[in-house]
């Protein structure tokens, strides 16, 4: 995926990466705007571990989980090697600035076009929204990370894509905060076992309890159950693989009839 983005940038073509998790997938079922954001992306990769499990159950396994919190580092490393620029957009006040410092520390030669942590509610005020977008456009970055949460970040990206046709955009949720060190990611074993959401819930219960416990966990269980049931039904409808069609099966051997009164 990194090679694809680099090739497109070198060809002068921009694009958008969307990393759906369980919550985003749940939203696409009931919300036209959410579906449109995912459908308009050039690259869609699975962030949530349950999506990987679902693809395996369906018999069409995805190659890997690609979290935005990992992608922001790997894509930035590639941009540093290519002498390309990035822009950090999002997070609470000061977050993007701290993330910039962390990235400069890891990639000393990285070109950072700018950073911006817009004020809360900026997207509901046309003047602030346009001013924030203009700040990004003025720097003409190669890659923009927008960390505002879905679908707010996708609305910003939708506006910027028309103004920066050669730029790539990644809606990365909390990833800018992870880079800045404001939030800590779950231990690796929790990430690999699909329990990263529990770590985030423990750190932000007031904000995430309703979303995770009332909506996302039931949806994930329903998703896995429905796909497993469909696969079982599909298997039961398939003819037995080890038996040829009836017309091709050998007939029962013929021989002398068993004399009356004798057991065969």
The pLDDT, as a whole number, for residue 240 is 58
172-205 core/surface letters (b: 16 or more CB in 10 A; e: else): bbbbbbbbbeebebbeeebbeebebbeebbeeee
The pLDDT, as a whole number, for residue 246 is 53
The pLDDT, as a whole number, for residue 241 is 53
Please give, one letter per residue, the 3-state secondary structure of 190-211. HHHCCCHHHHHHHHCHHHHHHH
Q: Give mean pLDDT in consecutive 10-residue pieces for the chain, a chain of 264 residues.
A: 96 97 94 96 95 95 94 97 97 93 95 95 95 97 97 97 97 95 90 90 92 94 94 81 53 47 45
DSSP label at 57?
H
- Lookup: tokens for 101: 């410092």
The pLDDT, as a whole number, for residue 111 is 97
**pTM of the prediction?**
0.86
The pLDDT, as a whole number, for residue 4 is 96
């Amino acid at each position: 995926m990194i090679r694809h983005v680099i090739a497109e940038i070198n060809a002068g073509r921009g694009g958008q990466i969307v990393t759906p998790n369980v919550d985003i997938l749940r939203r696409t079922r009931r919300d036209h705007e959410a579906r449109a954001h995912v459908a308009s992306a050039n690259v869609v990769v699975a962030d949530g571990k349950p999506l990987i499990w679902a693809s395996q159950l369906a018999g069409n396994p995805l190659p890997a989980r690609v979290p935005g919190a990992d992608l922001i580092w790997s894509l930035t490393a590639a941009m540093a090697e290519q002498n390309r620029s990035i822009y950090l957009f999002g997070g609470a006040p000061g977050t993007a600035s701290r993330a910039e410092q962390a990235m400069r520390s890891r990639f000393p030669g990285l070109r950072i076009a700018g950073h911006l942590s817009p004020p809360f509610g900026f997207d509901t005020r046309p003047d602030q929204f346009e001013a924030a977008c203009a700040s990004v456009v003025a720097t003409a970055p190669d890659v923009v990370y927008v960390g505002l949460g879905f679908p707010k970040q996708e609305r910003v990206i939708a506006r910027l894509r028309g103004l920066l046709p050669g730029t790539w955009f990644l809606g990365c949720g909390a990833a800018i905060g992870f880079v800045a060190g404001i939030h800590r990611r779950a231990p690796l074993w929790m990430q690999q076992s699909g329990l990263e959401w529990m770590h985030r819930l423990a750190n932000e219960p007031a904000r995430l309890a309703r979303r995770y416990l009332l909506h996302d966990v039931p949806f994930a269980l329903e998703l896995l159950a429905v796909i497993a049931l469909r696969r079982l039904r599909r298997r039961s409808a398939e003819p037995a693989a080890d038996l040829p069609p009836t017309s091709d099966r050998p007939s029962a051997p013929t021989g002398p009839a068993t004399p009356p009164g004798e057991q065969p």
